[in-house]
């Protein structure tokens, strides 16, 4: 079993195990197998039952971080952003650079909600805890595909129904923080997901609805973390958000709350800090009649204060008939002094949606 560690790399088992599942209550103990529940009558204490519940909740093992290259390839088909006019490339302050429709017969392919682009390496994390890594050359050739699953998942039943990895952000040494819906948890992994370092069920996120947890999360320069809720409203069209002073898996880093007002009709789906310090926030709009729309706004972190409501500056909208889908993952890179925005779509692993990887340049005013 993968060892569990917190911020100081001391074993989590030295901590109060109840902290691991702070959002759970006695009803969760009742969800234990009957053979365990019956021990109530044989003298097992309440603390032991909570410990067993917490361990079952926290320790759902997955496969190793990144296995060897898979035999099942991923096919990257180049696409124009505007099928009716391939020369149409400028949208607000974004200029379309390239894009691909990704397909694969890999069983767990799809559902990607978080993205990391570093050089020619692409990492995409799915709602299911599955992840995919590959290399993408400047001319669009894809190679070295590998698939894996998070080594530890915050799942009580052991199925997707009570876990949903939605956001991902990185530290300067390669550590990875992943935000989960349903349990409203944040887990910290060693580089390449090799082991779990820390986990938390922040009390400030405890009342967020199960499908509206840490949808967007980014680590700012200096070590602060910003987390946006997808659907938890604190006022009309204002979403709940938190700023942690440091690692959110460290209980000493108590966050303060603020509100985030996205562009009208949109919800936040991902965020990442730009080189100039501002936060780029990716958004989604959906309706049965209009399909998926995408918007990107910029937020000044200096405006984030306790109790404040922050409104982003809308810089681009992408709507049908443009080649967009359920865009949920965002990554920022630099190329020759230019800022690039990469976005990936979550196809929900259904045939009517697609996995699109799109690349834009952020244009200066």
On whether both 268 and 356 belong to a single domain, the answer is yes
Of 41, 58, 75, which residue constitutes the final position of a domain? 58
In a domain, 1, yes or no: no
On whether both 44 and 134 belong to a single domain, the answer is no
Reported as a single tens digit per residue, the pLDDT across 168-227 is: 999 999 999 999 988 899 999 999 999 999 999 999 998 888 777 789 999 999 999 999
On whether both 119 and 224 belong to a single domain, the answer is yes
Average pLDDT over residues 49-63: 38
CATH number, domain containing residue 72: 2.115.10
Per-residue pLDDT at 156: 64
Average pLDDT over residues 273-284: 97
- Mention every residue, 6+ apart, whose C-beta is less than 8 A from residue 45: none
On whether both 210 and 236 belong to a single domain, the answer is yes
In a domain, 7, yes or no: no
Q: Greater confidence, 41 or 152?
A: 152
Which residue range is the domain that position 45 belongs to?
12-58
Per-residue pLDDT at 34: 31
Per-residue pLDDT at 8: 32
Per-residue pLDDT at 147: 94
On whether both 23 and 65 belong to a single domain, the answer is no
On whether both 38 and 81 belong to a single domain, the answer is no
Per-residue pLDDT at 139: 87
In a domain, 267, yes or no: yes
Per-residue pLDDT at 161: 58
On whether both 48 and 67 belong to a single domain, the answer is no
Q: Is the pLDDT of residue 24 over 90?
A: no
Cα separation of 356 and 99, whole Å? 7
In a domain, 315, yes or no: yes
In a domain, 344, yes or no: yes
On whether both 137 and 278 belong to a single domain, the answer is yes
Range with the largest mean pLDDT of 5-19, 220-234, 325-339:
325-339
Cα separation of 31 and 187, whole Å? 23
Q: Is the pLDDT of residue 158 over 80?
A: no
Distance of CA 199 to the CA centre of its chain: 15
Q: Where residue 249 falls among pLDDT bands split at 50, 70, 90?
A: very high
On whether both 102 and 126 belong to a single domain, the answer is yes
Q: Which two tokens stand for residue 88?
A: 């149409």
In a domain, 5, yes or no: no
Reported as a single tens digit per residue, the pLDDT across 123-152 is: 999 999 999 999 999 888 999 999 999 988
Q: Greater confidence, 154 or 3?
A: 154
On whether both 141 and 47 belong to a single domain, the answer is no
Q: Please check whether residue 230 is in contact with residue 248, taking contact to mean a CB–CB distance below 8 angstroms.
A: no
User: In total, how many domains does the chain have?
Assistant: 2
Q: Where residue 160 falls among pLDDT bands split at 50, 70, 90?
A: low
- Max Cα separation, the chain? 74
Mean pLDDT of all residues belonging to the chain: 82
Average pLDDT over residues 276-283: 97
pTM above 0.85, yes or no: no
Q: Where residue 68 falls among pLDDT bands split at 50, 70, 90?
A: very low
In a domain, 2, yes or no: no
On whether both 102 and 45 belong to a single domain, the answer is no
Q: Is the pLDDT of residue 6 over 90?
A: no
Size of the chain, expressed as the number of residues it contains: 365
On whether both 17 and 143 belong to a single domain, the answer is no
The 3-state DSSP composition of the chain as helix, strand, coil percent (nearest 5) reads: 15, 45, 40
In a domain, 159, yes or no: yes
């Amino acid at each position: 079993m993968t060892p569990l560690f917190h911020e100081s790399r001391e074993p989590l088992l030295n901590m109060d195990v109840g902290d691991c599942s702070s959002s759970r209550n006695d009803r969760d103990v009742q969800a234990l197998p009957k053979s365990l529940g019956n021990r109530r009558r044989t003298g097992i204490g309440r603390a032991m039952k909570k410990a067993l519940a917490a361990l079952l909740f926290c320790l759902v093992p997955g496969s190793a971080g990144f296995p060897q290259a898979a035999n099942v390839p991923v096919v990257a088909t180049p696409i124009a952003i505007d099928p009716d006019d391939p020369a149409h490339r400028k949208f607000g302050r974004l200029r379309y650079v390239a894009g691909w429709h990704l397909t694969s017969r890999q069983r767990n392919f799809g559902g990607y909600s978080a993205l990391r682009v570093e050089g020619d390496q692409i990492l995409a994390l799915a709602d299911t805890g599955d992840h995919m890594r590959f290399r993408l050359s400047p001319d669009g050739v894809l190679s070295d595909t590998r698939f894996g699953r998070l080594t530890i998942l915050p799942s009580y039943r052991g199925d997707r129904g009570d876990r949903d990895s939605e956001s991902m952000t990185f530290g300067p040494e390669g550590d990875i923080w992943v935000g989960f819906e349903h349990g409203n948890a944040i887990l910290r992994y060693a580089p390449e997901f090799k082991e779990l370092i820390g986990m938390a069920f922040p009390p400030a996120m405890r009342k967020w609805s199960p499908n509206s947890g840490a949808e967007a999360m980014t680590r700012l320069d200096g070590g602060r973390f910003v987390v946006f809720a997808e659907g938890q409203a604190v006022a009309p069209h204002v979403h709940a958000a938190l700023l942690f002073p440091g690692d959110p898996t460290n209980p000493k880093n108590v966050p303060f709350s603020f509100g985030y007002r996205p562009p009208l009709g949109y919800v936040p789906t991902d965020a990442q800090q730009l080189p100039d310090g501002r936060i780029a926030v990716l958004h989604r709009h959906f309706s049965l009649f209009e399909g998926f729309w995408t918007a990107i706004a910029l937020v000044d972190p200096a405006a984030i204060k306790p109790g404040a409501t922050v409104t982003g500056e809308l810089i681009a909208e992408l709507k049908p008939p443009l080649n967009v889908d359920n865009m949920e993952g965002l990554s920022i890179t630099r190329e020759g002094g230019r800022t690039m925005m990469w976005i990936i779509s979550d196809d929900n692993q259904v045939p009517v949606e697609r996995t699109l990887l799109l690349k834009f340049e952020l244009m200066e005013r």
